[in-house]
Amino acid sequence: MAGDFDPWLSSAVAAEVAVASRANAEALAARQRNRLAKLLAEAVSGCGFYRDLYEGIDLARAPLPDLPVVNKRALMQRFDDWVSDDALRLPELRRFIADPSRIGQPYLGRYIVWESSGSSGEPGIFVQDAHALAVLDALEALRRPTPRPLARLLDPFYVSERIAFVGATDGHFASTVAVRRLQRLNPALAPRLHALSFLRPPGDLVGALDALSPTIVATYPSEALLLAEERLAGRLHLQLHELWTGGETLTPKVRRFVQQAFACPVVDSYGASEFLSIASECERGRLHVNSDWVILEPVDEHGRTVPAGQFGATTLLTNLANRVQPLIRYELGDRVAFGTHPCACGSQLPVIEVSGRSDDSIVLPRGHDRCVRVSPLAITTVLEDEAGLFDFQLRQVGPNELRLCTPLDSDAARARMHRARVALGDYLAAQGATAVHVHCHSGHPHSLGRSGKVQRVIGAVSDA
């Protein structure tokens, strides 16, 4: 038995998730209260960071909105005091995630580790124990929508499906780690589950997908848009049963375009590195928060809770499943609004709308009569991995002109910008865009995107 998977624990958690899926609002709230109380007690007893943060606060009486807000930068600066296991140390974890061969492998024989992108200017490292993983596995298995109920009734374990994940496959990112872990834990599934890098040139990626001929593709909305355009152009020949998206905002326009291109349902979900399964779609296409395991608080610019029906300036997340690395009132950055009416599907799990990551694709000339569309997540992956540049904004200012800016202004920042120009130029050339000029500027403040977060990639024309 792998240390990151306990079949008895997983079965017990799955049963809890199944029962709660049909629970009423009062029962869901009771589960949330009990888990929050346990999380707070364990955070104070096991983590120096929270012990200091909550000094003088009566946690038995203080409501959650009265507790201090935390952010990624503060937590990462005190990482060794943030985690509850003394065996977890940041330098060793950094060395672990620097090795691509260990993606999806257990750390210390019992933890799964992934890194977040630096969309807020600060990359994070997140550690999951067997309990947290059991929760995430159960939510993914039991609350993922089934757009083809008969197919799932006859094949609940996707034995007849071939699944391809298209994303950033060379780093310890949550989706890639999840795929590699599943391949390791379920060798029977491994031949039917593949991960393809979205950094490959379009022709190579299209050829690889056609060779695999998956029936389900899981990817980001911006990448799904690229694949849909390849399908309509006659270069991609997939016959998909379903297409799964997540990790970015899926706009109605992009959903319709992708559904029409592949003639299959598009299933969206909302998650983050901090909690992979925040919300799942129901058959009515509305996102339901897994409120028995995660708490979301939309707040205004002063940290005050906003009423249902209104988007906050940011959202605070409390992860009720992860006790080894507690996240309590953590500033997520996305803008979320709770629904004002119950969903017609009958679920009592709260409904939300999300205005999250909303970067644009970049469209560049490729030869005399063709263009290449580059997904924003591919661009950010190149800049982060190849140049170590996390705090940036890239804007398309002409057909083949890009302006790369960072608010940082130091010798180290300028060195990163030089590496970024080279890395980005090489990557775009590999995609077929060989005449692109990247202009770099240090010491330039960012402009905010539609989500209220820094929009890191801004195209000449938005697809939203």
- Looking at residue 403, what DSSP letter applies? E
Checking DSSP bridges between strand 216-219 and strand 242-245, what pairing results, if any? parallel
Determine contact, residues 116/87, Cβ cutoff 8 Å: no
Q: Which phi and psi (to 5°) does residue 411 adopt?
A: -60, -40
pLDDT at 454: 67
Angstrom distance (rounded) from CA 278 to CA 136: 9
Domains and CATH numbers, the chain: 7-355 (3.40.50.12780), 362-458 (3.30.300)
pLDDT at 2: 56
CA torsion sign for 60, 64, 68, 74 is positive
Q: Is the pLDDT of residue 102 over 90?
A: yes
Residue type, 5: F
Q: Is the pLDDT of residue 368 over 90?
A: no
Determine contact, residues 440/404, Cβ cutoff 8 Å: yes
pLDDT at 249: 85
Angstrom distance (rounded) from CA 327 to CA 316: 10
pLDDT at 451: 38
In 217-313, which ranges are continuous DSSP H helix?
221-232, 252-262
Determine contact, residues 215/244, Cβ cutoff 8 Å: no
Structure tokens at 79: 């990482």
pLDDT at 430: 93
pLDDT at 408: 84
Which secondary structure element, helix H or strand E, spans residue 205, and what is its range? helix 202-212
Determine contact, residues 115/102, Cβ cutoff 8 Å: no
∠69-178-384 over CA atoms, to 5°? 65
pLDDT tens string 305-318? 999 999 998 999 99
Structure tokens at 267: 């299933």
- CB-facing half-sphere around the CA of 318: CA atoms within 13 A: 23
Which secondary structure element, helix H or strand E, spans residue 218, and what is its range? strand 216-219
| pLDDT tier for residue 120 given thresholds of 50, 70 and 90 | low
Structure tokens at 289: 């928060």
| pLDDT tier for residue 449 given thresholds of 50, 70 and 90 | very low
Q: Is the pLDDT of residue 165 over 60?
A: yes
Q: What is the mean pLDDT of residues 44-49?
A: 97
Structure tokens at 271: 């998650």
Least confident of 4-18, 112-126, 259-273: 112-126
Q: What is the mean pLDDT of residues 31-42?
A: 98
Q: How far is CA 338 from CA 71, 151, 209, 299, in A?
A: 22, 32, 38, 11
| pLDDT tier for residue 196 given thresholds of 50, 70 and 90 | very high
Checking DSSP bridges between strand 163-167 and strand 216-219, what pairing results, if any? parallel
Could you identify the residue written with the tokens 């950055």?
333
Q: What is the mean pLDDT of residues 217-225?
A: 94
Least confident of 201-210, 221-230, 405-414: 405-414
Least confident of 284-293, 397-406, 440-449: 440-449
SS3 178: helix
∠305-309-311 over CA atoms, to 5°? 60
SS3 370: strand
The CA radius of gyration of the chain, in Å to the nearest whole number, is 22
pLDDT at 428: 95
Angstrom distance (rounded) from CA 50 to CA 324: 12
Angstrom distance (rounded) from CA 203 to CA 62: 57
Q: Is the pLDDT of residue 448 over 70?
A: no
Determine contact, residues 311/327, Cβ cutoff 8 Å: no
pLDDT tens string 394-436? 999 999 999 999 988 888 889 999 999 999 999 999 999 988 9
pLDDT at 370: 82
Of 391, 459, 431, nearest in space to 72 by CA: 391
Least confident of 234-238, 317-321, 368-372: 368-372
Bridge partners, residue 279, by sequence: 270, 289
pLDDT at 461: 58
Determine contact, residues 435/399, Cβ cutoff 8 Å: no
pLDDT at 356: 61
SS3 235: coil
Q: Which phi and psi (to 5°) does residue 166 adopt?
A: -115, 115
Q: How far is CA 28 from CA 148, 254, 290, 295, 309, in A?
A: 28, 33, 9, 11, 21
| pLDDT tier for residue 161 given thresholds of 50, 70 and 90 | very high
Angstrom distance (rounded) from CA 268 to CA 243: 9
pLDDT at 121: 58
Q: What is the mean pLDDT of residues 435-449?
A: 81
| pLDDT tier for residue 270 given thresholds of 50, 70 and 90 | very high
Of 193, 192, 167, nearest in space to 179 by CA: 193
Q: Is the pLDDT of residue 358 over 70?
A: no
pLDDT at 445: 77
pLDDT at 65: 96
Checking DSSP bridges between strand 266-272 and strand 393-398, what pairing results, if any? unpaired
Least confident of 247-256, 294-303, 417-426: 247-256
Of 121, 120, 116, 75, nearest in space to 408 by CA: 121
pLDDT at 453: 53
Q: Is the pLDDT of residue 464 over 90?
A: no
Q: What is the mean pLDDT of residues 227-240?
A: 95
Q: What is the mean pLDDT of residues 11-23?
A: 96
Angstrom distance (rounded) from CA 382 to CA 19: 43
Bridge partners, residue 173, by sequence: 115
Angstrom distance (rounded) from CA 400 to CA 378: 18
